[in-house]
A and B are shown apart, each in its own frame.
Chain A
Amino acid sequence: MNYEDFLTDIALGDERFIIMTAENRAAIRNINKSLGNRFIDTGITEQTLIGSSAGLALRGRIPIVHALACFLTMRAFEFIRTDIGIGELPVKLIAAVPGFLSEANGPTHQAVEDISLMRAIPAMCIFCPADLQDLLIGLKDVLLSPKPFYIRFNQSESHILHSNNFEIGKAELLSEGKDLTILTYGILLNEAFEAAKILSEKNISVRLVNLRTLKPIDEEIILSSVSKTPLLVTLEDHFLTGGLFSIVAELLLKNKVTANVLPIALENKWFKPALYRDLLVNEGFTGRQIAEKILYKLDMI
């Protein structure tokens, strides 16, 4: 099943759902045919899209809003923060092509500060599925949650068999390991998986964690990873500031825990635009490159 079919089914079964977009129809080309006037396209108007989603939520609806991650979170940030955030309204923000998924678009289209922005809104929750399968496993709970949600939309092909046990605030533990833990979210899980495979060939065992929701975050799995493995790796297609590395650093400090942490993220720069595989290589985010970084770090500790 693809995202659009899943969304169509859930929306047809529950009158509360309204599917909205700021003319970003890439993932929802046909849904208007089934939903009639419960599909609303506001045109290239992210602010009005968000404001009107708040109005629909005031009337008891659950708007599922589609726009490009960068314009959604930045052009409409104050509307998200003020109308949805202060109002604590159950609007679901489907953020298309976040992080590296913007590929060759260039920095105007790169949402690599979106986690940082969204988690600064008190009521907002964040779901970052690793692929289509992971998205569909979590989506129903996310859509039916009474909270506003930011969904780092990712419907890439699944290479990993995911656990069907989804709970908001609970990570998915993909493998136990004793030498290091990789904490990651979104599309880079594939590269983390590849890195773990390469490392295991060198008899290094990796505890691999797919965080799924970054807010609320699974604090327990992060803290237990510190006691179970001598190194934490945070891997993300996001700026180093404000994303997973920041979340982990805050959590450890709050709990008076110290740890060896290797952050792999974008350090104060946008990435060089290119097709997905090429940009991974160029930025040093392929499974092999990640494994090399980890080996280098392990040598130092």
Chain B
Amino acid sequence: MAIYNRYDMENVKHEILKKRALSAREQVIRMATDGGCFLGASLSCIDLIVYLYSEFLKIDMNTIDSIERDYFFLSKGHDVPALYATLSDLGFFEKQRLLNHLKTNDYIYWHPNKMIPGVEFHSGSLGHLISVAIGVALDIKIRLMNNKVVVLLGDGELNEGSVWEALLVANAYKLDNLLLVIDRNQFQANMKTESLIPLEPLESKFEAFGLEVYSIDGHNFQEIDETFQGLSFNSKRPTVIIADTIRGKGLPSIEEKADRWFCNFSHKEIENLIDELYGKTLKTELTSEKLIVR
């Protein structure tokens, strides 16, 4: 007879999350063809998005319009394949619809928009959604409610002055219902963050702006889970979680390669990459033309 203790239960939960993230990664890779997508950036934040929707955010198909729901804003909009994959996996819309990626008969394009069930707001222009989230968080405070507002940002996005402007305001209004998650994959579009516009020491920057700061491994579900579940949301200040991630995580062939941000591969290469994702092969030969758009 099996005896499950809390430790085992947690392990089971993390195994389920891993499996879900793996399947979501496959969906994302399948979008990197016939026009392509921002594959590298999507694979760095996908564990965080899967975790948020599976375990953290109070939002599902039934509460999608509820004033009491939690909010998730994808400020680094080009990661949207990770969100599409997660939302479709959780039943916000039919998985079949992912096949419409970049087709004119649907709205599944390179940046998020509200035509996709579960997407709260459009993004793509960096440095906008902390401000929008502040508006939502302020309204929740005015109504004396307890919903949480989560914003996922890229580390490159932190170059934008509007991010820091918004942090001043979030701090002034003591928005402890606001949680920022930084996908710290160390890259901006084409360059390493630290070699172009250095962000470090990032923790102390956020601390100086009045935020409660946590740093975690953004691919380790146990660490993600412990950190998110440990948040108090009553500290009278906004929280930021800096999640250390790897761009292209799951595909060693593109991991941390500066020119694999936007990827558009052949169908054959996609199948090979999926084999690589599931560990059937170690490395994929990639010859496709690289396309950088923003």
Query: Which residues of A approach B to under 8 Å, CB–CB?
Result: 18, 37-38, 40, 42-43, 45, 47-48, 50-61, 63, 78-79, 82-83, 86-87
Contact = CB atoms under 8 A, between A and B. Distances in A.
Nearest to B167: A48
Interface of B: 67, 114, 120-122, 125, 127-142, 162, 165-166, 168-169, 172-173
B139 A42 contact: no
B125 A82 contact: yes
B166 A55 contact: no
A53 B135 contact: yes
B141 A55 contact: no
A81 B124 CA distance: 13
Question: Is chain B's interface secondary structure helix, strand, loop, or mixed overall?
Answer: helix
Contacts of B135: 51-59, 63
Contact of A50 (B130, B131, B140, B172): B131
Contacts of A79: 128, 131, 162
A59 B67 contact: yes
Contacts of B125: 78, 82
15 contacts: A18-B139, A40-B138, A43-B172, A48-B169, A50-B131, A51-B129, A51-B131, A51-B162, A52-B135, A55-B134, A56-B136, A58-B136, A78-B125, A83-B121, A87-B114
Counting chain A CB atoms within 10 Å of each CB, the highest count among B128, B139, B165 belongs to B139
B91 to A, nearest CB: 23
A55 B169 contact: no
B205 to A, nearest CB: 18
Nearest to B134: A52
Nearest to A42: B169
A55 B131 contact: yes
Given A79-B128, A86-B122, A55 B138 contact: yes
Nearest to B127: A47
B132 to A, nearest CB: 4
Contact of A51 (B122, B132, B141, B168): B132
Contact of B137 (A38, A43, A55, A82): A55
Given A40-B138, A43-B172, A55 B132 contact: yes
Contacts of A63: 135
A47 B162 contact: yes
B138 A51 contact: no
A83 B132 contact: yes
A54 B169 CA distance: 15
Nearest to B141: A37
Counting chain A CB atoms within 10 Å of each CB, the highest count among B114, B138, B166 belongs to B138
